[in-house]
Amino acid sequence: MNPPLLSARLLRQLEQLELSAQRRSRSAGKGERRSRARGQSVEFADHRNYVAGDDLRYLDWNLYGRLERLFVKLYEEERELPVQIFLDASESMRFGTPTKFELARQVAAAIGYVALCGFDRVSVRVFPDPESPGSPAGPVVGEAAVRGGLRGIRGKRMAPTFLERMTQVSPGGTAVFNEALRRAALQVRQPGLAMVLSDLLDPAGYEDGLEALIGRGFHVHVIQVLAPEELNPATFGDLRLVDSENGAEEDVTFGKFRLKAYRRIVDLYTQKLREYCRGRGIGFYRTTSDASLEGLLLKELRMEGVLG
Amino acid sequence: MNLLAPLAAWFALTIPVIVLFYLLKRRRVVLRVPSTVLWQRYLAETQASAPFQKLRKNWLLLLQILLLIFAVFALMRPYLGSQSAPSSLRVLILDASASMQSTDEEPSRFEAAKHEARRWIDGLRPGQMMVLLQAGPRTDVRQSATSDKPLLREALAGCQVTDGAARMGEALRMAESLIRDVADAEIHLFSDGSVGSLAEFENHNLPLIYHRVGQRRNNVALTSLEVRPNPENPQQRAVFVGVANLSPAAVETTVELEFDRDMVDTRPVTIPPGESASLVFVVSQNRDGIFRARHTAPDDLSADNQATVMSLLPPPVKVLLVTRGNRFLERALRLAGHCEVTVGSDNTQVDGKWDVVVLDDVVPTAWPSANVIAVRVAETNWFERTGTLRAPAIVDWRSTHPLLRFVSLDNVAIAEAVGVKPPPWGNVLIEAPQGPLLVAGEIGRHRVVWIGFDLLGGTWPLRVSFPIFIANAVDWLNPTLVRAERLNIRAGDPLRYELPEAASTVEVKPPGGDWERVTLDAGAREAVYGATDRQGAYELRWGTNQVTFAVRALDLAESDSTPRAEIPVGRFGGTAATSVKQVNLEIWRWLAGAALAILMVEWWYFHRRTA
């Protein structure tokens, strides 16, 4: 039995929160989110002319008394918010102490838990796909079932199952970030909230995948998780750097005097990413794998407006 | 620029070796990282922002090649060309006379000359030889012909300036003999030009190059110090001090006189430029001792600011006059002062304890052991008679000799003289066309004055010059004064002293030094000590006996420390000061220094990259 992913205390605090959706839900399922659909709730939305067959209970008799015409009162339908959580489980997420994947999984579990508490439908999409080609050191056998079981979960009573399954996910393989996001954008029936948890260090870039999500109508939040040694490398000298995912080699001569130049490059990269996201209405947040989970969830993501 | 060791260029073959090392893969530490995306950006960024991207990777290689180029260049020993022609043998003569102590150069003329000589030694090329001579009162060969620079430098460093006068003629003769068979030889003289007269030197087109040191003349010198009996009171001593002002401005100074370290008298004196002053101190002296005079004016040359003289208290001179009757001579002897004259008529008393024996027309059976004035004595073992000179005319006399000081023989007529051959032991002081009339010299340890004519057979005793001559002769023959003369020597001359009995060792104490033991030859009766380069009082002791010597630096030619632009060599020739200065300046030291600097930059750069 793995240790619990989230402590009981944190779970209680998470129950006080909810995911803030800036758009009305387009989901078909009933839920607790306002939507454009008209249906049954207490929120009045509009009137329309009565046509034969309408439920007489919704006739507005006051209007009939004034205008001698029949109108039906329409109410807002409250729908669920489909929450898609994209969890990067590639080889590169194994780095850092604790690993980047560890933090990303905890954040994913916490957001999923908040969504479940809010009667939203939660799907955690872990990529890379264990069956996808190009992942020789793929995840353990049986992982596919676990990952399948993380789709379309709804209701607070499913939370223990959800958390249990989350602990069973393990990282490995080469992530194809854009491909994973594009495929998900095609697969989902209803767009909703998309949470992307990744280090965003794919050589092919991140733009195509994010644009596919935006184009499908998702409201996207990106949380970039980096390892501390990626921000402040501590190994100096004549180095041959080997990419953990694709095995690419890079000869670098690195010293303390060049640390500043490297940091500037990293900051520039993040800055570009942040500007890209802002231009498309994507929420962006960067954290490191050794950051405090409580601080991140209860403070910083609330300030960013991800949680409310 | 030329190269001393061009073959060292072969070391440049090591440059490809370094390049080869760089072509071999550098050993890198393999590090697994999450992703190389950021590193690719980092490399692209840092390389794009730097000029010479391709070279940048190999800064260390460039530095190492540069370092090697400098090192190889240093090994090739480049030097800056000089104006001097190549010469296979150079004789360096370093003037070590007293005037080289002048401080108008920094720190002194001698050190400046050594510095200049050092540059010539540094510029010595392989295959060329050099000889180092030091010209002081003696000429020392400090280093015989060699190409070994360290040896030459060591010899040069060992050269010491003296208080004596330079005998430059001797040094030039030695240098001339050294270069006799070498066609392209050169003689380099490092001097201030105060070298005395070289008119006697036979100049056979000597390849002499004169490097002048010294900038100005500013010197006040004691040029003479003598102690004599006071003519007015023989109980007192008159100390004559000559002070010369050899600087371009008038000088006010004080002359101090000490006797055995007790201040006796001081006297202020003002001397116009280029002139000299004579001072006479009349003092009483009750024992043998040393008079020391000094002046207090600050000047460039301190060696001649003081002088010492050993003064012996002379007892009365005991004179035996053997004559058949010569009142002029007897009177003159009694007037000579400080004499106890005994007159005898035959030569039976000659063997007594006399200081001076005067033989007037008397042939002795044996020469007396005292100093002798022999008048008209011929046909002895000392003289070979050739005949008789009738009315010889005096054609020349040497007025510089102490015997003929202040003596004028202008109106002296002589009736007849004994004709002799000039003897080998003596100097002819008065000459007639037919032969010598007066001879003075030393035989063994005795001084002899020989007069070839009968004094009464001429006009000389009637002239003023006669008593002066007799007084001079008594002084010259006075054994105490002779001894005093031996105790006062010039700097650089050997100190000689006759010991009463044979001794194997004596001890000498130079001024300001410690006792030095001097070993003598077995059975030697004379102590000889040569290292009298410094002026002052030297003490000599053997057993319980002790004598004091005074070594003086007084020499007007040395004291006149004006740097000469030209040295006259020989009767007609001369050598002007040369301007050839810069000689084969080797620059490998700077190259090696630059290589070291590059090495340090490389070290710093290496650590900056990978620290």
Residue of chain B minimizing CA distance to A229 = B33
Q: Count CB atoms within 10 A of the CB of residue B495.
A: 21
Same domain, B470 and B331: yes
Portion 478-537 of B in contact with A at CB < 8 A: none
Does the structure show a pLDDT above 60 at B581? no
Instruction: Please tell me whether the peptide bond between A98 and the residue prior to it is cis, using omega within 30 degrees of 0.
Output: yes
Does the structure show a pLDDT above 60 at B336? yes
Contact B28 A256 (CB under 8 A): no
What CA–CA distance (Å, rounded) separates B431 from B2?
Answer: 65
Helices A100-117 and A159-168: crossing angle in degrees, nearest 10, is: 170
Residue that is last in its domain, among B445, B477, B509: B477
Give A235→chain B minimum CA distance, Å: 9
Is position A260 within any domain? yes
**B43 in reach of chain A (CB within 8 A):** yes
The CATH number given to whatever domain includes residue B156 is 3.40.50.410
Same domain, A165 and A64: no
Contact B39 A245 (CB under 8 A): no
CB-CB contact of B238 with B230 (8 Å): yes
pLDDT at B440: 92
A145 contact partners, CB below 8 Å, separation of at least 6: none
Inter-chain Cβ pairs, chain A and chain B, closer than 8 A:
98
Is position A220 within any domain? yes
What CA–CA distance (Å, rounded) separates B510 from B160?
Answer: 16
The CATH number given to whatever domain includes residue A128 is 3.40.50.410
What CA–CA distance (Å, rounded) separates B203 from B185?
Answer: 15
The pLDDT tens digits of the residues spanning B446-476 come to 899 999 888 888 899 999 999 999 988 988 8
Same domain, A70 and A156: no
Same domain, A52 and A198: no
Same domain, B383 and B410: yes
pLDDT at A30: 62
Is position B482 within any domain? no
Strands lying side by side in the sheet with B220-230: B220-230, B233-245, B276-284
Q: DSSP letters of B304-333?
A: TSEEEEEE--PPPEEEEEEES--HHHHHHH
Is position B506 within any domain? yes
The pLDDT tens digits of the residues spanning A66-100 come to 998 889 888 777 677 888 999 998 888 888 888 99
Number of domains present in the structure of chain A: 2
Same domain, B10 and B69: yes
Most B-contacting residue of A231, A252, A266, A286 (CB-CB within 10 A), to test interface: A252
Same domain, B414 and B529: no
Most B-contacting residue of A177, A243, A288 (CB-CB within 10 A), to test interface: A243
Is position B349 within any domain? yes
CB-CB contact of A97 with A110 (8 Å): no
pLDDT at B152: 92
Collapsed DSSP state (helix, strand, coil) of residue B63: helix
Residue of chain A minimizing CA distance to B35 = A243
Q: Which of A221, A224, A17, A266 is nearest to A118 (CA)?
A: A17
Give buried/exposed letters for B361-383 (b at 16+ CB in 10 A, else e).
bbebeebbebbbbbbbbbeeebb
Tokens 């002899």 -> residue: B448
Same domain, B332 and B355: yes
Q: Is the dihedral of CA B9, B13, B19, B25 positive or negative?
A: negative
pLDDT at A196: 93
What CA–CA distance (Å, rounded) separates B203 from B207?
Answer: 10
Q: Count CB atoms within 10 A of the CB of residue B348.
A: 10
Same domain, B394 and B338: yes
B1 exposure class (CB count in 10 Å sphere: 0-12, 13-18, 19+): exposed
Same domain, A169 and A53: no
**B252 in reach of chain A (CB within 8 A):** no
CA neighbours closer than 13 Å in the CB half-sphere of residue B158: 12
pLDDT at B203: 77
The pLDDT tens digits of the residues spanning A130-155 come to 655 444 444 455 777 788 888 888 88
Q: Which domain holds residue A58?
A: 30-79
Is position A226 within any domain? yes
Q: Count CB atoms within 10 A of the CB of residue B487.
A: 21
Q: Which residues of A touch B (CB under 8 A)?
A: 91-95, 100, 199, 201-203, 227, 230, 235-245, 248-258, 261-262, 265-266, 268-269
Is position A308 within any domain? no
The mean per-residue pLDDT over the stretch B394-423 comes to: 88
Same domain, A186 and A69: no
pLDDT at A28: 59
Instruction: State the pTM of this model.
Output: 0.54
Contact A240 B30 (CB under 8 A): yes
Residue of chain A minimizing CA distance to B38 = A266
Is position B293 within any domain? yes
Residue that is last in its domain, among B451, B477, B503: B477
Using 50, 70 and 90 to split pLDDT, how confident is the model at B287? confident
Residue of chain A minimizing CA distance to B604 = A257
Same domain, B435 and B306: no
Q: What is the CA radius of gyration of chain A?
A: 23
A16 contact partners, CB below 8 Å, separation of at least 6: none
pLDDT tens-place values along chain A, 308 residues long: 456 788 888 888 888 887 776 555 556 566 666 666 666 666 777 888 888 888 888 888 998 999 988 898 887 776 778 889 999 988 888 888 889 999 999 999 999 998 888 888 899 998 887 655 444 444 455 777 788 888 888 888 888 898 888 888 888 888 788 988 898 888 888 888 899 999 888 888 889 999 999 998 888 999 999 998 888 888 887 788 888 888 888 888 777 777 888 888 889 999 999 999 999 889 899 999 888 888 888 888 888 777 77
pLDDT at B231: 73
Give B25→chain A minimum CA distance, Å: 11
Residue of chain A minimizing CA distance to B31 = A241
Give A256→chain B minimum CA distance, Å: 6
pLDDT at B315: 79
Q: Which of B549, B372, B554 is nearest to B451 (CA)?
A: B372
Is position B60 within any domain? yes
pLDDT at A86: 92
What CA–CA distance (Å, rounded) separates B510 from B540?
Answer: 9
Instruction: Please tell me whether the peptide bond between B422 and the residue prior to it is cis, using omega within 30 degrees of 0.
Output: no
Same domain, B178 and B124: yes
Same domain, B155 and B296: no
Is position A125 within any domain? yes
The pLDDT tens digits of the residues spanning B207-265 come to 888 888 888 888 898 888 888 877 777 678 889 999 999 888 899 999 999 988 889 89
Give A232→chain B minimum CA distance, Å: 12
Same domain, A181 and A108: yes
pLDDT at A134: 46
B510 contact partners, CB below 8 Å, separation of at least 6: B516, B531, B532, B534, B536, B538
Output the CA–CA distances (angstroms, integers) from residue A200 to A175, B270, B354, in the order listed.
10, 102, 130
pLDDT at B56: 52
Tokens linked to B121: 């030694």
Is position A123 within any domain? yes
The pLDDT tens digits of the residues spanning B39-59 come to 888 887 666 555 444 445 677
Q: DSSP letters of B104-128?
A: SSSS-HHHHHHHHHHHHHHTPPTT-
Is position A205 within any domain? yes
Same domain, A42 and A135: no
Number of domains present in the structure of chain B: 5
Is position B483 within any domain? no
The mean per-residue pLDDT over the stretch B326-346 comes to: 83
Same domain, B77 and B105: no
Same domain, B427 and B516: no
pLDDT at B208: 86
Give A223→chain B minimum CA distance, Å: 17
Output the CA–CA distances (angstroms, integers) from residue B425 to B290, B382, B477, B483, in the order listed.
32, 9, 16, 20
ipTM of this complex prediction, to 2 decimal places? 0.78
Same domain, A205 and A255: yes
pLDDT over 90 percentage in chain B: 13
Contact B32 A244 (CB under 8 A): yes
CB-CB contact of B221 with B244 (8 Å): yes
Contact B42 A261 (CB under 8 A): yes
Does the structure show a pLDDT above 80 at B578? no
CA B403 to the chain's CA centroid: 28
Residue of chain A minimizing CA distance to B611 = A255
Helix/strand/coil percentages in chain B, nearest 5: 25, 35, 40
Q: Which domain holds residue B73?
A: 2-81+588-610
Same domain, B257 and B290: yes
Same domain, A97 and A125: yes
CB-CB contact of B242 with B325 (8 Å): no
Is position A1 within any domain? no
What CA–CA distance (Å, rounded) separates B169 from B360?
Answer: 43
Angle CA(B354)–CA(B356)–CA(B361) in degrees, nearest 5? 115
For chain B, how long is the longest CA-to-CA vector? Answer: 138
pLDDT at A135: 45
State how beta strands B29-33 and B488-490 pair.
unpaired
**B25 in reach of chain A (CB within 8 A):** no
Contacts of residue A243 in chain B, CB cutoff 8 Å?
A: 33, 35-36
Angle CA(A56)–CA(A60)–CA(A65) in degrees, nearest 5? 115
What CA–CA distance (Å, rounded) separates B156 from B143?
Answer: 8
Residue of chain A minimizing CA distance to B58 = A253
Helices A207-216 and A259-279: crossing angle in degrees, nearest 10, is: 20
Contact A230 B38 (CB under 8 A): yes
Same domain, A103 and A237: yes
Q: Which of B219, B279, B215, B294 is nearest to B249 (CA)?
A: B219
Same domain, A148 and A228: yes
The pLDDT tens digits of the residues spanning B61-74 come to 888 888 889 898 88
Collapsed DSSP state (helix, strand, coil) of residue B499: coil
Contacts of residue B42 in chain A, CB cutoff 8 Å?
A: 252, 261-262, 265
Is position B493 within any domain? yes
> For chain A, what is the mean pLDDT?
83
Is position B507 within any domain? yes
Contacts of residue A261 in chain B, CB cutoff 8 Å?
A: 42, 45-46
Most A-contacting residue of B22, B25, B30, B38 (CB-CB within 10 A), to test interface: B38
